[in-house]
Structure 1
């Protein structure tokens, strides 16, 4: 880290630096979110000598940083819903050097509002207005009651000093009231007092004249409180800060993440999102929120895709480095994304509709990153002079494309290829896809060949095939496996995973009453083991009507019904006894048939690599349940 702790300064000095634009806020900072009560507690803590923690500044000196990134001024007239955004400060190479706040934005903004600004929140029992209305959201200044301390018995916040945000009307009403026992001192006034160098001078030349003028000269609490307020704001060096001088933006982001790890979780995508939003011509945050809402609520999709996933897709589709690096979110790159935004949105929607149509739902999509190469291919593959995403969901066309894409998707989900950090494999996938855009279909073979011998190898060996046959009902990979095994399923229907021999038949109490099983301990153990009846060998994909009709019927009885258009051949158990008594034979035969079919549907390797043959894929593999 390049920097050091600097000499502490007063709160007054910090306020002056804010007013002079010597302190600004970088785009990585979120909006001001503190409540008026939190501000009051902060001032109470300062008055009582409690530590308010150190701050971190970033000294911005480089011309390119001033030119390429947005910085903001502090808010001094906060209004709920209507004035929550910090004003932009147009920095450039000619702009003076300044400090950007890396840690301490909420506290510094609170101090600034309390000492210089106003805080507006909605009046109780009034409806939210359609525009900023001072009758509903009146500006309030911060006041301190000099007359008395707070009664600790009646205050749950454990504050000593009575700080409150009051409207002008409330303040004037208090002054006019003959019965008022309070004396509200506006904190704006403390910065207007004359500068004095010693506590004695402050007491004799500032505090006592004020108390005399306002009839408080005999109030010891008022004297002590006003003196203390003057000193904590104007003379005591309470702002301790570390000054970061490193000009490398990614380093500063890393510092920001580490120093802000105590509250809401932060990561690079959060910060880069803020930078992208700052460079967007319009409201990018609203655009992203509308898209994520559409993806989640649309019955043809139903996935929850976070904003950072969408950002990653944008980088992938615009040919940028897919890593979350600040250099990928310069104004030029963001402008490129914005220029293609309508097409990117449409491609994302059609890609996710395709994934859903292939049988994958939000639970079985174990890696959202696996969808990104599909988006890239559909976006860039041209068919009849139009990108493929525009027609991929037309069931009268592109059946071969969908078959290859589905096979690839099921394979990567089953192999967990995108577990952990996926940037390297996404970049490599993009290279393969770019080279094969001229082919007739999704280049599955080329992809398999590209990752052959790495720890992202898509091929299956015999041991892995065996492990697939042990997948249980409820395993998130189960749906992908069944769709890979039975690709002929109607793409317009929604399928449910159900037991062929019903689960209820394997109830332990029922089995214990079976005379045949009671006479054979080994057979009883076979029936009791969920490794057998709850595994993929006893599972199948049923459409909605089939699933309802199946219920708990014995398999033989259900298949014999005239309205059921499934057969022993369809289930890969032709000639097998379907009775419950023959379940062991059914299990063994179907398990072998499923394994044989899986062997035909995937690419095989004699021995899977234990270690990566290429250093670029030498990474820890973590289950990727989000992005």
Structure 2
């Protein structure tokens, strides 16, 4: 085992220390980074790291990545922000590689956190602000409050040292926020003593005329202790302990990587599968960088979703890959054989798979329930498999066959969600539905066969009964996620699409109802185009309803004589009409 100083390692990050393609992405948040720095200054152990030493020649043929320096904590952000990255950038330098190159197999999160704290920054989006606007993002750097008392422990955070990510430095009588990245350049004793004297001078100036009676000597002492502890942790003590793997065999290294990560909670299973895909897909022609390819597809899929949201991730692409190859959708390490990884590569190389994913994204975006709410394995993987298995049949709503397919898939998604397919054994149900689709004849989406199979195996059907719908009326309310699926079925087989900016709104505004009225019941909810919703606002209900066409009242199940009903009568009659519509229109 080698022991090294933090400054020695961080100064060589992205030069001699790089990341292999099998590594995952950085996932830590600012609190994790703060905790790591607090542990280092308190002399707590932070665990051993594992590096794979390769000669420059051997490393040349290996795909390599850089550690993140300026991290942005969401994958979707405006391209005008050129400084931060969300994913590890590929190593593309033309400079000669050092020998050996140290590829970090275990410890990426810790080394990235040190790199961000000592050399970089962390970008966060302001709460409630849009992702696609540069002004929504704030660049923060790590600071240490030198005036905090290093002999006490924060009762809430459990930290002894007052680290914080901040947008700017501040020095007041209450806090002296010292930029942690400055310590990296203060290496020799002359620089250290000069910096310490400057800190003391500034603190005495700040508190010399303080009316609160703070003792300058005690504050200076706190600052000196904090500063010395930070300097010692970074430049003096050998805090980092490395185990070394010297074998050039990528298969051995891959196995080591899986085994050291199998017992922990991170990286997650999709990250390990992506690492194994990346390793395998590089070994035989045509060489493919799975990591870059999958991330590129995820970015493309999310780019097609309105509103700057990012519902798709690596896991969704992988599970469709596994389903398309008729493997278990649930992640299992024992299944990740070289044979499986090669089969997944063959599917990836087909145009059919990419078309399937793009068609899936477009289809889901066209329905009212948000894409993020559909992305449960029991919902999206069978639909994707159906598209892939049938060569991506037309979903054109203007054609007879295309409209029939869209209606069947829409019904499946809504009925499966409302009948609990996403809550119980979601992966197993997805596999069972996938198998039904595989064994079905023709190119129709086999609603009847799916319902029969899942009911016999899991006791859940796609069919609705009076009792089931009444239960949904009692359970679902305004603001509950499932209510959008129920309201979608209230229009079935028509498609109130998200592309038309439909919103869920109260028919009779809460503002005109008494406090004891159950305004959030399904019977008082409807899908409205946002323009209609704004026009409706809190207008008098009777006047607004009289202005609606007969077609509108039919579409939204407004009962005859609604203007003469009490609120309770209106809700009861409307829910009965919605129930009758769903029972009458279900294609089973």
- TM-score when normalising by structure 1: 0.56
Residue 414 in structure 1 maps to residue 418 in structure 2: yes
Confirm or deny: 8 A CA contact 2:390 2:443 kept in the other structure. Answer: no
Residue 298 in structure 1 maps to residue 327 in structure 2: no
Residue 447 in structure 1 maps to residue 450 in structure 2: yes
Matching residue within 546, 566, 570 for 1:586: 570
Confirm or deny: 8 A CA contact 1:57 1:102 kept in the other structure. Answer: yes
Confirm or deny: 8 A CA contact 2:504 2:526 kept in the other structure. Answer: yes
Residue 333 in structure 1 maps to residue 343 in structure 2: yes
Change (3 A) 1:101 1:257: farther
Confirm or deny: 8 A CA contact 1:102 1:256 kept in the other structure. Answer: no
Q: Residue in 2 aligned with 1:479?
A: 484
Residue 429 in structure 1 maps to residue 433 in structure 2: yes
CA distance in 2 between counterparts of 1:343 and 1:351 reads: 12
CA distance in 2 between counterparts of 1:32 and 1:572 reads: 50
Q: Residue in 1 aligned with 2:359?
A: 350
Q: Deviations over 1:299-346 (max 9, x none)?
A: 569661112111211222233432334544745134224312x43232
Alignment RMSD (CA, Å)? 5.2
Shift of 1:570: 4.1
Confirm or deny: 8 A CA contact 1:44 1:163 kept in the other structure. Answer: no
Residue 145 in structure 1 maps to residue 176 in structure 2: no
Shift of 1:451: 1.0
Confirm or deny: 8 A CA contact 2:51 2:106 kept in the other structure. Answer: no
Which structure has the greater CA radius of gyration?
A: 1
CA distance in 2 between counterparts of 1:543 and 1:434 reads: 38
Confirm or deny: 8 A CA contact 2:48 2:241 kept in the other structure. Answer: yes
Q: Deviations over 1:231-288 (max 9, x none)?
A: x87xxx9958799xxx8978963642545x5xxx531112222332343535544443
- TM-score when normalising by structure 2: 0.59
Shift of 1:294: 3.5
Q: Deviations over 1:392-418 (max 9, x none)?
A: 135234222222111111101112312
Confirm or deny: 8 A CA contact 1:433 1:443 kept in the other structure. Answer: yes
Residue 392 in structure 1 maps to residue 371 in structure 2: no
Confirm or deny: 8 A CA contact 1:367 1:419 kept in the other structure. Answer: no
Confirm or deny: 8 A CA contact 2:505 2:528 kept in the other structure. Answer: yes
Residue 405 in structure 1 maps to residue 409 in structure 2: yes
Change (3 A) 1:252 1:313: same
Q: Residue in 2 aligned with 1:312?
A: 319
Change (3 A) 1:484 1:56: same
Please give the secondary structure, in 2, of the residue aligned with 1:540.
strand
Please give the secondary structure, in 1, of the residue aligned with 2:572.
helix
Confirm or deny: 8 A CA contact 2:49 2:243 kept in the other structure. Answer: yes
Residue 158 in structure 1 maps to residue 227 in structure 2: yes
CA distance in 2 between counterparts of 1:453 and 1:541 reads: 34
Q: Deviations over 1:334-362 (max 9, x none)?
A: 4224312x432322222222223232224
Q: Residue in 2 aligned with 1:367?
A: 376
Confirm or deny: 8 A CA contact 1:54 1:242 kept in the other structure. Answer: no
CA distance in 2 between counterparts of 1:335 and 1:43 reads: 41
Deviates most, 399-408 or 417-426: 417-426
Shift of 1:488: 4.2
Q: Residue in 1 aligned with 2:272?
A: 271
Confirm or deny: 8 A CA contact 1:74 1:109 kept in the other structure. Answer: no
Change (3 A) 1:73 1:51: farther
Please give the secondary structure, in 2, of the residue aligned with 1:393.
coil
Please give the secondary structure, in 2, of the residue aligned with 1:305.
coil
Shift of 1:445: 0.5
**Correspondence 1:540-619 to 2 at 5 A:** 540-561=526-547, 564-566=549-551, 568-572=553-557, 574=559, 576-579=560-563, 581-602=565-586
CA distance in 1 between counterparts of 2:84 and 2:488 reads: 48
Confirm or deny: 8 A CA contact 1:59 1:100 kept in the other structure. Answer: yes
Shift of 1:381: 1.6
**Correspondence 1:493-504 to 2 at 5 A:** 493-504=500-511
> Which consecutive residues of structure 2, in runs of 5 or more, have no partner in the other structure?
10-16, 54-60, 71-82, 93-101, 122-183, 201-222, 246-251
> Which consecutive residues of structure 1, in runs of 5 or more, have no partner in the other structure?
1-7, 16-22, 61-69, 88-98, 114-118, 123-140, 166-186, 188-228, 509-527, 605-627
CA distance in 2 between counterparts of 1:283 and 1:74 reads: 12
Q: Deviations over 1:470-516 (max 9, x none)?
A: 221222111211221221435664433222223332154xxxxxxxx
Confirm or deny: 8 A CA contact 2:368 2:495 kept in the other structure. Answer: no
Please give the secondary structure, in 2, of the residue aligned with 1:419.
coil
CA distance in 2 between counterparts of 1:100 and 1:571 reads: 61
Confirm or deny: 8 A CA contact 1:369 1:422 kept in the other structure. Answer: yes
